[in-house]
């Protein structure tokens, strides 16, 4: 059923509840931010999946969207977010409540279901932050004509993959699933498998590679025997074949992979994770997915963010990134200036946008001198990505599946934009207070001047 109307439109039948507008400061930055976000546009877009009459009444869209915003702004988990929500009147006012609430508005699991329901449509949350940035003058329309584009790696919340660990964990999962379906295995290798796994790690640590590889071969043999035993005993049973289908497919990927293969398995609970090398000296390989960002060159305000799978070349991501940027800005095609690094050579973009590849040799003409400052500003997107990783939940993605990878990138970008807006609003409020403090001090000084002079 369609979501409940916003609390401001609901008839409240409460006698002793405390009104939020009586206990908060209307000049607070978060209150101002809540007033400039176009909640109606968010409700129109994210209220479409719900049926008019069937099912239970959904939670208000503003409440759910506001919680997602606050989660990204303060880098909190779903549980900690709700713990702080019930004790913060400004957060409740930001989410559209009129009266102070003493109970959780939702179960923490509702946050996950709401994200999974909307998926890529959550781009509307990022588009709303762009409009809020224009309303608060954090960015200007002229800033949207010069953007920086770059890619990074969004690491998945997985342990570092090793062959021994993957063989051992896969065998354990198959044994547990067989016990759940009451399949009697010839041998589970529980005791010897665990011992060989520990011994393999110890031998690799001591640089005894020859013995360690023999132990690794044993772990692989244990997995193959368990896999073949299960396949023989479920043959012909459609129900069991469907139950074991995904696990046997992962076991086959582990058993048949070779050093030169591309479709390797790096995690059992996140099989979509990929191995990506960005040429970093301190971290040669990262396990996750690529993420592309487009930000204004002047303010580093993100106006495009998308998660990518398949480890595409940076140049192949430019076309899709500019299409998303135009969509979020409400344009048919982006026609501004785009500044990228040398990783985008050979991008093949043939649209109206003017792509400037920074760092490669160009002739020192008068036309080039006019763009020299903007070329140097290309690297300004790097610290913005770093802040999103350290403060905006981009550095370690906890959301499940490929859809979770794309969702986390969009929400991280929205959180970065909101932090920029809040910083500007807080600075403006501080300067406003200092200005009137100076005026009041000067007025009091000159009003008492004759008395002090006498």
d(CA 129, CA 436): 30
pLDDT greater than 60 at residue 13: no
pLDDT in tens, 256-295: 988 888 889 999 999 999 999 988 888 899 999 999 999 9
Residue count (the chain): 454
pLDDT in tens, 88-123: 999 999 999 999 999 999 999 999 999 999 999 999
* pLDDT reported for residue 365: 52
Rounded to 5°, angle at Cα 373 from 369 and 375: 95
Residue 179 has phi, psi (to 5 degrees) of -65, -35
pLDDT greater than 60 at residue 68: yes
* pLDDT reported for residue 240: 96
pTM: 0.88
pLDDT in tens, 300-310: 999 999 999 99
pLDDT in tens, 340-375: 999 999 888 888 999 999 876 655 555 567 778 888
Structure-token pair, residue 109: 């699991």
pLDDT greater than 70 at residue 394: yes
Nearest in space to 336 (alpha carbons), one of 382, 379, 294: 294
Spatial neighbors of 267 by CB under 8 A, at least 6 apart, are 156, 158, 159, 161, 273, 287
Q: Where are the domains of the chain?
A: 7-120, 137-158+273-398, 163-256
**Number of C-beta neighbours around residue 95 at 10 A:** 23
Alpha helices (H) along 152-260: 163-180, 190-205, 209-234, 238-256
* pLDDT reported for residue 452: 44
Q: Are 300 and 133 in contact (CB under 8 A)?
A: no
């Amino acid at each position: 059923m369609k979501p409940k109307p916003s609390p401001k439109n609901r008839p409240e039948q409460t006698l002793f509840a405390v009104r939020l507008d009586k206990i908060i400061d209307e000049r607070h930055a978060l209150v101002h931010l809540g007033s400039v976000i176009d909640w109606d546009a968010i409700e129109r877009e994210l209220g479409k999946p719900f049926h008019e009459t069937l099912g239970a009444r959904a939670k208000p869209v503003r409440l759910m969207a506001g919680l997602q915003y606050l989660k990204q702004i303060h880098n909190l988990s779903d549980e900690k977010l709700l713990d702080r929500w019930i004790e913060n009147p400004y957060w409740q006012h930001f989410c559209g409540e009129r009266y102070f609430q003493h109970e959780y508005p939702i179960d923490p699991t509702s946050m996950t279901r709401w994200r999974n329901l909307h998926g890529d449509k959550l781009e509307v949350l990022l588009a709303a932050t762009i409009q809020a940035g224009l309303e608060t003058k954090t960015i200007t329309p002229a800033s949207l004509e010069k953007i920086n584009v770059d890619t990074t790696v969004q690491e998945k919340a997985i342990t570092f993959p090793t062959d021994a660990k993957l063989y051992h964990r896969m065998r354990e999962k198959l044994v547990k699933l067989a016990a759940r379906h009451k399949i009697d295995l010839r041998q589970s290798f529980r005791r010897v498998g665990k011992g060989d796994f520990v011994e393999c790690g110890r031998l690799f640590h001591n640089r005894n590679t020859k013995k360690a590889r023999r132990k690794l071969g044993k772990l692989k043999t244990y997995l193959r025997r368990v896999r073949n035993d299960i396949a023989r005993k479920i043959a012909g049973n459609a129900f069991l074949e469907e139950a074991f289908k995904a696990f046997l497919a992962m076991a086959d990927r582990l058993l048949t992979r070779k050093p030169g293969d591309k479709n390797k398995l790096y995690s059992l609970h996140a099989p979509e994770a990929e191995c990506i090398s960005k040429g970093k000296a301190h971290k040669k390989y990262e396990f996750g997915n690529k993420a592309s960002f487009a930000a204004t060159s002047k303010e580093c305000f993100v106006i495009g963010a998308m998660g990518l799978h398949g480890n595409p070349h940076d140049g192949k991501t430019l076309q899709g990134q500019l299409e998303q940027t135009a969509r979020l800005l409400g344009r048919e095609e982006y026609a501004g200036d785009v500044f990228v690094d040398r990783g985008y050579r050979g991008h093949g973009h043939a649209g109206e946008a003017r792509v400037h590849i920074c760092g490669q040799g160009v002739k020192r003409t008068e036309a080039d001198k006019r763009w020299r400052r903007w070329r140097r500003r290309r690297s300004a997107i790097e610290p913005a990505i770093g802040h999103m990783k350290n403060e905006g939940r981009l550095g370690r993605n906890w959301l499940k599946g490929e859809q979770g990878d794309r969702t986390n990138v969009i929400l991280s970008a929205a959180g970065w934009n909101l932090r920029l807006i809040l910083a500007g609003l807080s600075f403006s409020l501080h300067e406003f207070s200092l200005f009137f403090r100076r005026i009041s001090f000067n007025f009091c000084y000159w009003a008492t001047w004759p008395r002090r002079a006498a």
